[in-house]
Structures are given as C-alpha cells and as structure tokens.
Amino acid sequence: MSVTTETTYSSASQAMPIGTPRHHIIIFAVLLGLLLIAPFLLYPVFIMKILCFALFASALNLLLGFGGLLSFGHAAFFGSASYVTAHAAKVWGLTPEVSILLGTGSAAILGLLIGALAIRRQGIYFAMVTLAFAQMVFFFALQAPFTGGEDGIQAVPRGNLFGVLSLADDRTLYFVVLAIVFGGLLAIYRIIHSPFGQVLKAIRDNEPRSISLGYKVNRYKLAVFVMSAALAGLAGSTKSLVFQLASLTDVYWTMSGEVVLMTLLGGMGTIFGPFVGAAVIVTMQNYFASFGAWVTILQGTIFVISVLLFREGIVGVLSKWIKKPL
Amino acid sequence: MSAPDIILSARQLTKRFSGFTAVNGVDLDVERGTIHALIGPNGAGKTTCFNLLTKFLQPSAGTIKFNGRDITSMAPAAIARLGVVRSFQISAVFPRMSVLENVRIALQRRRGDSFDFWRNQKVLNDYDAEARERIEEVGLTEFIGETAGELSYGRKRALEIATTLALEPEMLLLDEPMAGMAQEDVSRISALIRRISAKRTILMVEHNLSVVADLSDKITVLARGEVLAEGPYETVSKDPRVIEAYIGAGHG
C-alpha cells in the first residue's frame, strides 16, 4: 500500500536477527513486572484503560505497521465487540469469559466481511472503504434496539469468571485484564515473528514483488485484517467489562482516529510503540480532563509535533538511537 | 536440425488501453535454454509485453502458452508458481528486510502457503544455509545482515536476482536488469546472467545494446507495439527497418 511511505516507518527493521532477540524478552519481562505492581500504586481502572487501548493500538499496528494497511475504521470492531459483550453479560447473563469470546468472535466475523471488500482497494481507497463501513456500523449501533441508542448499554455486570471468581473488585479484575491483554500482546508478537509474519512484511515492503514470487497476497491481507479485527474486538470486549459500559463513543469514527494517533505517536511498525502511544494518550486524557475541550487541542498539537519532529514515533526514535528493533 | 523446443509462446498478443494499442498482435516464441532479448525504442511496448506474459496485465486478445499449457487466464501468482518468475524495472527488493530475509522469503515458498501465524519463525532457519549460498553466488555475503533498502543500486539488482534464483524458476523474465547501473556492475550482472542461463531460459528487456549483443541468442525487435524483426544480433542489427526505427525514434 502506498499510503504509508517508507520514511514514516520506524527503523525497527535493522537486520532483524532471526529468533527472538533477548532485549525483547527483557522488555516484556520488565513490563510485566511493572504491571504486576502497578495496581498497588495507581488507580487500577486507569491502568486497565491503558491496557485495553494498548491492545487496541497493537492490533491496529499489526495491520498498519506490519501489513502496510491503514484502516480508518477499527472502531467498528472495537465498538461492536464492546456492545456484544455488554449485551451478552447483561441481558443473557453469560459469564465474562464467554461474553468476551462472543464479542471477539463477532469482531472477527465483521472483520472478515469488511476486510473481504476493503482489501480489493489500495492505499487511501482502502482507508476510505474501512471508514465507510465503520460509519455504517455506527449508524447501526445508533438505531438498533438492543444497543440502547444514545444511552448505550450501562451497568454491565462484571460477573464471575468461569462462574466462580467475582470480578466486582477492581484489583481482581485488573489481573484478569492484565492476563488477557498481555496474552494478546504476546500473540501479536508471535504473529509478527512467524513464517506468516515474514510474508506479511514482504507484502508490506513490495506487493508486486511478493506476487511475482508466487504469494497470493490478498489472502494474506485478509488473514491479517481478520486477526487485527479480532484483537481489536478483544480489546473492546474487555473494555466494556472494565467500565461496565458499551456506548456510541466506542464505535464513533473519532475512536478510529484516536487509535491511529496512538499507534503513530508510539511508533508504527515497532513492537512496543502502540503500548507507549496508548499510555501517553490515555494519561493525557485522564490527567488533563479538567481542561475540557482543550484536551483535544492538546492532542492535536502533540500529533502535529510528533509528525513534524519524530515521524517514527517515540519508540521508533528510541529504536534508532540504540540501533536495535524495539 | 530438430524442431525448436519452445518453452513460452505468445500468439496475437494484444493490449489496448482506452483508445491506444500498446501491444498489437505480437507473436513470440522463446526457445528453451536460450537467452532471448526484447528490444525496441521507447514506447515500443516491451514492458507491456512483459506484464502481459506474466499476467500483471490482462491481455485484450491473444493466447500465452508455457510448456504447451495455456496460461492466458491464470493469476500472476499462479504463473510464478509454475516457474515463470519476473523481475521489475525498478529494483524489486524488500527494503526493510535484511538481505538474508529477502532471499529466504523466496525459499519459504517451498513450504507452500505460510499461513502458520502461530509458529516461531525459527522454522525458517532451515533455509539459511541455502540462502547464504544464493547470496554468495551474487557476491553479497558481506552484506548479508544489512537492510536491503540501504544497499547500492547494483547490489539491489544482484539481491533481486539471488531472490529470483532461489525459486529455481524454469524461466526468468528480466525487465531491464542493467537499467541505471554503473559499468562495473553491468559486467558483473552480465556474467551472472550468463552463468545462470546455463540451466534455464531467460527473456529480457534491455536497452544496453552491447549487453544484448553479448548475451542473447535471439532478439525480437518491437516498434509501436508490433514485432519489427527477429533473429540473432548480427542479422537484426543490420536490418534497415530496425535502424530506421531506432534513428527515427531518436529524432522523434
């Protein structure tokens, strides 16, 4: 896809050693260590929000940074999964793990439908097709009877995990969310570093050449689109249990924009960039909330600065400094 | 002499773009084991021909046969799988992957489709030894860990050839392999093409006539989308129509 130019990519590609680089394992371990003690130092719901958006942004990054496909409609997957999980937990009274699986599954199916049509177009047209479908999903969420329209689905019960462990306590829920998100991040890491991931990067780098080597590129694109949609759905489902709410904000196009912003700010095509980007944006929204509408302006300014000064994103720049893919 | 063994043949190959015929009724026979060059002035339809033969463009009319099998309606990836692999005018490497990874992505094709996203890419290490051999062949061993996008132009072309050869194609289509190359690179790639032609068939578009004269067994001259002349270099280069086309184009 040509929308993503080479210069905006991070330098994460420096002669990637084959196998898992040790510094990646160390970073994952340190990250996990920090996240394990975090709920005892900070407000758990705040960190859970960061975690959900980190997974959401990482899912988008899988598609954008490694598949070279810019989706501008990822809120459709995040939001629809959020609604399905909320509905399953509240109306059907299902356990949280089943509700989350249903939400994730719905996002995957929706991803298959939208992806199958969107991958026929390239570049900016691809982005526009995803946006158009996401708007249709938004409209559906606004009109459908079970979504609660403007109110959304409120007071979603967190329920008991596997029917036994109550998630009502924030800290208990936190460790479940941590397991889900960390599992999701590791899954993405593996996808990127699999034989499939290699082909994906080849297609991102040079699509005609990949075809001339005999790869059926559309199948790979569709596969990564569905994976990305499902993981975005997993993030949305988890989020609806954390906040006990599924609302129109989750499916609105600004949500799609926000997750693109997080990915770019952190560093697209890097492993840890989306996490950093999500943490920065969520923190800003949280601590600057008193500024009201100014948060949006602040976000815009940061975005402009990041595009002008460090196009590779925070982690992309770091990666260049230490000359190691991050 | 026995009947020539034709590996790739096109009959009445035609491509019309709205109102403009880029390739018009071209007949082409490429004999197995030869180096066949496609030359002609700018805009003669050489690259379009290439795109048609590899199905990167859909012909408006005509048929293409590879090893006697009609491939006219096949998808480009399927044609590559049959063993007809093309290169591109602009060097076609995977710029953000290492030299080793570039070649390995071709070797990886032997696994069939790689949809196993759950498996560690370490399984691909099985191909490293062979990838190293291919890289050695084109003299890029010292750059093996380098990012392909940072190689010099000539080395990118060499890497591209190594990648293509890793597929062990029966037939190679090289689109201007020497375009934009420094003289020392030209002779190196020339030697490389000659070496690899031992076991396979090569069809190439090339502007550098001394390379064409040096390498090719047979030349087809295209002008305005049609075949103007065909034969060995000595015959073709003396053909008055060919001289006319080249000089005419030079002044046009």
ipTM entry: 0.82
Winning range, highest mean pLDDT, from A65-74, B37-46, B83-92, B118-127: A65-74
Q: Which residue has the tokens 């290169």?
A: B87
Helices (H), chain B: 46-53, 76-82, 99-107, 128-137, 153-166, 183-196, 209-215, 233-238, 240-251
Q: What is the model's pLDDT at position B207?
A: 83
- Can you tell me the distance from the alpha carbon of A87 to that of B216, in angstroms, rounded to the nearest whole number? 70
Mean pLDDT of B9-18: 92
Q: Give the pairing of strands A160-161 and A165-166.
A: antiparallel
Q: What is the model's pLDDT at position A7?
A: 36
Whether residue A49 is predicted with pLDDT greater than 70 in this model: the reply is: yes
For residue B250, the SS3 value is helix
Confidence of residue A2 (pLDDT cuts 50, 70, 90): very low
Contact flag B95-A195 (C-beta cutoff 8 Å): no
Whether residue A12 is predicted with pLDDT greater than 50 in this model: the reply is: no
Residue A138 maps to a domain: yes
Q: What is the model's pLDDT at position A15?
A: 43
Whether residue A65 is predicted with pLDDT greater than 90 in this model: the reply is: yes
Residue A240 maps to a domain: yes
Give the nearest partner residue to B125 out of A18, A208, A215, using CB atoms. A18
pLDDT > 90 in chain A, percent: 74
Residues facing residue B201 across a β-bridge: B171
Nearest CA in chain A to B172: A212
Confidence of residue A243 (pLDDT cuts 50, 70, 90): very high
Domain boundaries, chain B: 6-94+170-251
Give the nearest partner residue to A9 out of B77, B96, B105, using CB atoms. B96
Q: Tell me the one-letter amino acid at B163.
A: T
**Structure tokens belonging to residue A131:** 């946006």
Contact flag B115-A211 (C-beta cutoff 8 Å): no
Whether residue B252 is predicted with pLDDT greater than 50 in this model: the reply is: no
Residue A24 maps to a domain: no
Which candidate in A213, A225, A231, A319 is best for mutational testing of the B interface (most B CBs within 10 A)? A213
**In this structure, what are the phi and psi dihedrals at residue B172, rounded to the nearest 5 degrees?**
-115, 135
**In this structure, what are the phi and psi dihedrals at residue B195, rounded to the nearest 5 degrees?**
-65, -45
Q: What is the model's pLDDT at position B248?
A: 64
**Would an 8 Å CB–CB cutoff place A145 in contact with chain B?**
no
Residue A147 belongs to domain with CATH number: 1.10.3470
Kindly report the average pLDDT of chain A as a whole number. Answer: 90
Identify all chain B residues contacting A221, using CB atoms and an 8 Å cutoff.
Answer: none
Q: What is the model's pLDDT at position A16?
A: 45
Structural domain of A58: 41-322
- Can you tell me the distance from the alpha carbon of B171 to that of A285, in angstroms, rounded to the nearest whole number? 59
Q: What is the model's pLDDT at position B2?
A: 64
Q: What is the model's pLDDT at position A29?
A: 95
Tally of domains within chain A: 1
B226 and B25 in contact (C-beta within 8 Å)? yes
Kindly report the average pLDDT of chain B as a whole number. Answer: 88
DSSP assignment, residue B231? E
Whether residue A238 is predicted with pLDDT greater than 50 in this model: the reply is: yes
Confidence of residue B251 (pLDDT cuts 50, 70, 90): very low
Residue A163: Cβ-neighbour burial (10 angstroms; 0-12, 13-18, 19+): exposed
- Can you tell me the distance from the alpha carbon of B17 to that of A125, in angstroms, rounded to the nearest whole number? 23
Winning range, highest mean pLDDT, from A158-167, A305-314, B59-68: B59-68
Q: Which residue has the tokens 């002779």?
A: B187
CA A300 to chain B, closest CA, distance in angstroms equals: 30
Whether residue A3 is predicted with pLDDT greater than 80 in this model: the reply is: no
Q: What is the model's pLDDT at position A18?
A: 56
Beta-carbon contacts of residue A139 (< 8 Å; ≥ 6 apart):
none
Beta-carbon contacts of residue B47 (< 8 Å; ≥ 6 apart):
B89, B175, B205
Whether residue B60 is predicted with pLDDT greater than 70 in this model: the reply is: yes
Residue A31 maps to a domain: no
Residue A35 maps to a domain: no
The strands making up B69-70's β-sheet, listed across from edge to edge, are: B20-31, B6-17, B61-66, B69-70
| CA dihedral of A287, A292, A295, A296, whole degrees rounded to 10 | 150
Residue B18: Cβ-neighbour burial (10 angstroms; 0-12, 13-18, 19+): exposed
Contact flag A205-B95 (C-beta cutoff 8 Å): yes
Q: What is the model's pLDDT at position A5?
A: 37
Q: Residues 160..219 of A with a Cβ closer than 8 Å to B: which?
A: 190-191, 193-199, 201-202, 204-206, 208-217, 219
Helix (H) or strand (E) holding A203: helix A195-205
- Alpha carbon of residue B151 to chain centroid: 21
| Class of CATH domain B6-94+170-251 | alpha beta
C-alpha angle B120/B124/B129, rounded to 5°? Answer: 145
Which candidate in A11, A206, A220 is best for mutational testing of the B interface (most B CBs within 10 A)? A206
Helix (H) or strand (E) holding A31: helix A22-41
Q: What is the model's pLDDT at position A4?
A: 39
Contact flag A19-B77 (C-beta cutoff 8 Å): no
Q: What is the model's pLDDT at position B26?
A: 93
Confidence of residue B1 (pLDDT cuts 50, 70, 90): low
**In this structure, what are the phi and psi dihedrals at residue B27, rounded to the nearest 5 degrees?**
-105, 130
Contact flag B76-A211 (C-beta cutoff 8 Å): yes
Which candidate in B74, B114, B125 is best for mutational testing of the A interface (most A CBs within 10 A)? B114
Which candidate in B99, B111, B121 is best for mutational testing of the A interface (most A CBs within 10 A)? B121
CA A316 to chain B, closest CA, distance in angstroms equals: 14
- Alpha carbon of residue B41 to chain centroid: 18
Mean pLDDT of A57-79: 96
Mean pLDDT of A27-36: 95
